[in-house]
Amino acid sequence: MKIIHKINEIREIIQKEKQNGKKIGLVPTMGCLHAGHASLIKKSVENADITVVSVFVNPIQFGPNEDYDKYPRTLEADAKICEEIGADYVFAPSAAEMYPGLEKFSDLTMVCPPYALTDMLCGKSRVGHFDGVATVVTKLFNIICPDIACFGMKDIQQLHIIKKMVKDLNFSADIISCPLVREESGLALSSRNKYLSEADKKAALTISKALFAIKDGYQKGIKDTKLLFDTAMTVLDPMIELDYLEFVDKETFETVSEINSPTIAAIAAKVGGVRLIDNIIIGE
């Protein structure tokens, strides 16, 4: 397995692989890989001949007061994980390689998903975040030209937006949705879990517990999302600062007041200053 830092170099490699008839799989990540990322890489290895894992902490998807500078960067350990799973290349460009000569991001041509999809859930408090995501994914797709690209259902709004972008802009990659991976405790795996103290982690566990309580309530016959919301609130640790807990239709992402079709209960909350997201699908 090789680590490639330069766009031209990975382009040449991919071109040769494609000439040899190889199917290319891409797994976009920001690194600090865990078992959630590993499941995506495994999926790509199983479904493509050549797997490229990109490891890039994308500055343009972070807000000014977010954790871009302190985001964990662990390339060596990441490469080891990729190699063990059977990936072929890690593409780890620098910020200057991806955005050369860019003093301010307002100078950059951006891919902006429709407002209706970004002015909700995470996009409401992370203004511009999904423009940054859509732009970097577009760049990665243009550099790697993948036949398939694997994304996790942990970032369910991101997945929805990427699928829409691929359809609207006629990208040829097939988007593979991969299930959310949790710790045994129920906590959704996230690179940001590294920031949590023991006390934070204990409180953070109540985020998934709240989602499981929603599922339980639904299975016991509660369909009214207001009641399900209240159930979840009784479970959340008081240390948790809720950003949102919303119920949206799995296909349209429109708000749901009564669950009659597959629905996503999505939550974002801060614990000890660390922003975590999680979701569960009910009514399937």
Which residues belong to the active site? Answer: 37
8 Å CB contact between 141 and 171: yes
Structure tokens given for 116: 């209706």
**Nearest Cα residue to 164 out of 110, 114, 129, 109:** 114
> Whose Cβ is closer to ligand AMP: residue 28's or residue 217's?
28
Is 82 an interacting residue with respect to ligand AMP (CB under 6 A)?
no
8 Å CB contact between 276 and 210: no
Which secondary structure element, helix H or strand E, spans residue 177, and what is its range? strand 174-178
Question: Of 123-131, 183-191, 205-213, 266-274, which part binds ligand AMP (CB under 6 A)?
Answer: 183-191
**CB of residue 58 to ligand AMP, shortest distance in Å:** 8
Interacting residue with ligand AMP among 111, 120, 175, 181 (CB under 6 A): 181
**CB of residue 257 to ligand AMP, shortest distance in Å:** 27
Question: Of 11-19, 120-128, 176-184, 256-264, which part binds ligand AMP (CB under 6 A)?
Answer: 176-184
**Nearest Cα residue to 175 out of 150, 155, 144:** 150
Of all residues in the shown chain, the one whose CB is closest to ligand AMP is 152
Interacting residue with ligand AMP among 56, 141, 151, 171 (CB under 6 A): 151
**Sequence-distant (≥ 6) Cβ neighbours of residue 70 within 8 angstroms:** none
Interaction residues for ligand AMP, span 19-48 (CB under 6 A): 29-30, 36-37, 39-40
Structure tokens given for 203: 């409180």
Three-state DSSP class for 6? Answer: coil
The residue ranges that bind ligand AMP (CB under 6 A) are 29-30, 36-37, 39-40, 151-152, 154-155, 178, 180-181, 188-191
